[in-house]
Amino acid sequence: MQVRQLGEQVINQIAAGEVIERPASVIKELVENAVDAGATQIDIVTAAGGKTLMRVADDGAGMRQADLKLAIRRHCTSKISDDDLFDIRTLGFRGEALPSIGSVARLVIQTRHSEEDHAWAIAVEGGKEQPIAPAARSKGTQVEVRDLFFATPARLKFLKSDRAEAAAITEIVKRIALAYPEIGFSLSGADRQPQNWPAARGDEPHLARIAQILGQEFTDNAMEIDAGREGVRLTGFAGLPTHHRGNAQHQFFFVNGRPVKDKLLLSGLRGAYADVLARDRHPVVVLFIDLDPALVDVNVHPAKSDVRFRDSQLVRGLLVGAIKHALVQAGHRSSTSNAAVALDAIRAQAAGGERPFAAAGPSYGSGGAAPQPAGGYSSVATAERWAPDVFRPLEQALPPAHGFAEAPAAEIQTGLSGLVTPSADARAHDVPVEAEKTDLPLGAARAQVHETYIISQTQDGVVIVDQHAAHERLVYERLKEALAKKDVARQILLIPEIVDLPEEDAARLAERAEDLEKVGLSLEAFGPGAIAVRETPAILGDMDIQGMVRTLADELAEWETAESLREKLDHVAATMACHGSVRAGRRMRPEEMDALLRDMEATPLSGQCNHGRPTWVELKLSDIEKLFGRK
């Protein structure tokens, strides 16, 4: 077969396949051009998910007549010169978008430069250019794209439904709008509900734009990020671990104002939240990375969605360190939306309702004496837990006693382990009134409900604490601290615990015995299909060794991933903490409940357990009064 040169139109259509994948790709390119033109208002109109119509109008600088002729030619751009490829400061730079769109659709451009007497228009249909002509437009540029892929009908078969394509366009516009709060955006059309994001003003425009797009709920439950290292600056907002989602669609990264979906950044984000979120939950973040353009290559992907950093470990380390620091600074803070969920559950009587946190991850603290939600814990009290017979009046003030927060961790666990499980008739535990403790963030303990939840009183409301989830986090943080110091105290079992397992699980545990030794767990093979546990971490006290070992065997099957040894050991510590924490169904003494609250206030990350579920929720007095019609 003879080799021959392809025609210009075919070349353009092939090249368009790399740049224009779907209607959202067109919108991305056109909106980025409008941003580069200095627009202060960008209006987008679509129809049929962008398949039949996309129109982007801006009030930017516009183009001169001569520039308009060149704009539809491949590799013609005003944004870079021969020496600027490694110092790119604009969103667009290749000069491929307009010719690519014109080769597969019907394209009409109207534009007016401030130095021109009137506007000019040019049309391109399937790669065929029409003569330039005068037009009526006061300022800026309007680009109209109709019948996308009419020139390459095979591409139409790969597009999704109108609704899915419209949603993809909305997502693209949201990402660009988040990066440029000083620009107003509107999105309308026959295929959608109109959306309008006015230009944000004031001292914190990014925060205002985030509230416009993600809602006030996110800004109320976000931690501010502001860190820098060696010329790289990271700013933005990261959600509390208890404010998570079931997918990663609410994770927004920007590099020098460019929206990106970079594997390095996603990996760093997972690492930062590793010990506060279950693996199937995802944090909500809006983060901006600013650095010298020479230190990042944005020309590594046709859609410019991936970037390559010159020092990738510096960027990842900054991201992980900044978020972990913010998590520590957040202390015992928990998502405010949890209280709203609780109030809604009470109002709806929680009859057969969905449990918001039931699927967040495994929990091993359920005791036989206490009724538990299927699938895991929820810190949201359902209406059945608030029945009138649950509470009884405080009969007497018990003498104050020292709490376990002042004692060594091992003593704490030993004391908790010795508590007697109450009968099913014991519904609440009275606690003495100590007015001065209501000044503290988590208040003073007043009662224990269903031997699972601690009720405490603050100055302006009530706090409900999940005792297992809270103690799990406290134990985990102590284990991590001891692991970092390589000083995990152990307790020798008088009689080794023999755990029967499938042979492959037992072999897997025996192979990892040296690693497990680092977290205070000493075990060895005990014949085929069995493991003998001889030592456990002292902080865990009398724990469920059988359940812990079986869970560890399942988790070790996933250790072939690229995680570091420290990350793996942290996962082991989290599993051990869950099995070794005070269980639901155990009655706690008044001083122990108060001590648990004080320990939570002093411990970083105590607002959520190791799986990302909240350890406590607060109901404000004003909200409670509304429930009873007092306000």
Q: Which domains does the chain have, with CATH numbers?
A: 8-196 (3.30.565.10), 215-330 (3.30.230.10), 357-631 (3.30.1540.20)
The SS3 call for residue 107 is: strand
pLDDT of 401: 35
Cβ pair 126, 103 in contact under 8 A: yes
Long-range contacts of 449-452 (CB under 8 A, 24+ apart): 449/381, 449/385, 449/390, 449/391, 450/370, 450/371, 450/385, 450/390, 450/584, 451/367, 451/369, 451/370, 451/421, 451/422, 451/426, 451/584, 451/585, 451/586, 451/587, 451/588, 452/370, 452/372, 452/584, 452/585
Q: Mean pLDDT score of the chain, rounded to an integer?
A: 79
Q: How many CA atoms lie within 13 A of 536 on its CB side?
A: 24
pLDDT of 430: 47
pTM higher than 0.75 for the full model? no
Please give the backbone phi and psi of residue 373, each rounded to the nearest 5 degrees, phi first: -65, 145
pLDDT of 403: 35
pLDDT of 175: 96
pLDDT of 558: 66
Amino acid occupying residue 335 = S
pLDDT of 426: 35
Among 137, 177, 190, residue whose Cα is nearest residue 27: 177
pLDDT of 57: 98
Amino acid occupying residue 22 = R
Q: What angle do CA 262, 263, 266 make, to 5 degrees?
A: 90
The pLDDT tens digits of the residues spanning 564-616 come to 556 667 777 777 777 777 766 778 899 999 999 999 998 888 888 877 788 99
pLDDT of 504: 87
Cα 165 to Cα 175: distance, rounded to the nearest angstrom: 16
pLDDT of 495: 92
pLDDT of 212: 94
Residue 308, both tokens: 């390559």
pLDDT of 372: 36
Please list, in sequence order, all residues whose beta carbon lies within 8 angstroms of the beta carbon of residue 285, skipping any fewer than 6 positions away. Answer: 236, 237, 238, 239, 250, 251, 252, 253, 269, 323
**How far is the CA of 323 from the CAs of 295, 318, 332, in angstroms?**
22, 9, 15
Instruction: Give mean pLDDT in consecutive 10-residue pieces for the chain, a chain of 631 residues.
Output: 68 64 94 94 97 97 90 68 55 72 94 93 92 93 96 87 96 96 96 94 91 92 94 96 89 94 90 84 95 84 76 94 91 63 56 46 44 35 35 35 38 40 38 61 92 92 92 86 84 92 89 88 91 90 85 74 58 75 79 92 86 87 85 72
pLDDT of 294: 87
Cβ pair 320, 272 in contact under 8 A: yes
pLDDT of 527: 87
Please give the backbone phi and psi of residue 184, each rounded to the nearest 5 degrees, phi first: -85, 140
Cα 498 to Cα 609: distance, rounded to the nearest angstrom: 29
pLDDT of 564: 55
Cβ pair 107, 53 in contact under 8 A: no
DSSP state of 453: E
**How far is the CA of 271 from the CAs of 41, 177, 252, 321, in angstroms?**
38, 27, 16, 10
Q: Which residue bears the tokens 């509900």? A: 193
Cα 384 to Cα 429: distance, rounded to the nearest angstrom: 18
Among 574, 561, 369, 354, residue whose Cα is nearest residue 479: 574
Handedness of CA 114, 120, 125, 131 (dihedral sign): negative
